[in-house]
Amino acid sequence: MIKKDPYLVSHAIVMEINYMAGQIFELSNNLNKLMFMKPKRITKILQEDYQKSSDVKYCENILRHVIQTSDFSFPSEDYTGQINDIVAKKTRDMLQLHSEMMGREKMAAEEIKIVEDVN
């Protein structure tokens, strides 16, 4: 009977949304009370959780080889910056492929190369 009447379906959806909003408000209120009682501990726990989730989402492992030099004004290897850019791009592509295979959505960050305009 409820499936045939669109007004009853929409009313049931609105009631469910209101119920969830009330639950979220209650949780927010409890968090505020808890933050008032033990702010340092809660802040530390929330900060650790945020750091873990951001590490998982945005972590990149760029593998580089160490170039030994005694004078940093003279590079000991030519095209070091270009080589690092190529390795970083390949690593990012591989990480993106793995995350797509695991079903994660694409990261919302993009690489921007700024070129100085000399006019």
CB 89 within 8 A of CB 119: no
What would the two tokens of residue 115 be? 């070129």
Structure token pair of residue 56: 């998982």
For the chain, the straight-line distance linking the first and the last C-alpha, in angstroms and rounded, comes to 73
Q: What residue spans define the domains of the chain?
A: 1-59, 60-112
pLDDT tens-digit series, residues 16-67? 999 999 999 999 999 899 888 988 888 898 899 888 877 776 665 555 566 6
**Cα dist from 28 to 37, 41, 53, whole Å:** 14, 17, 21
- Scanning the structure block, which residue is given the tokens 């959780």? 49
pTM of the model: 0.38
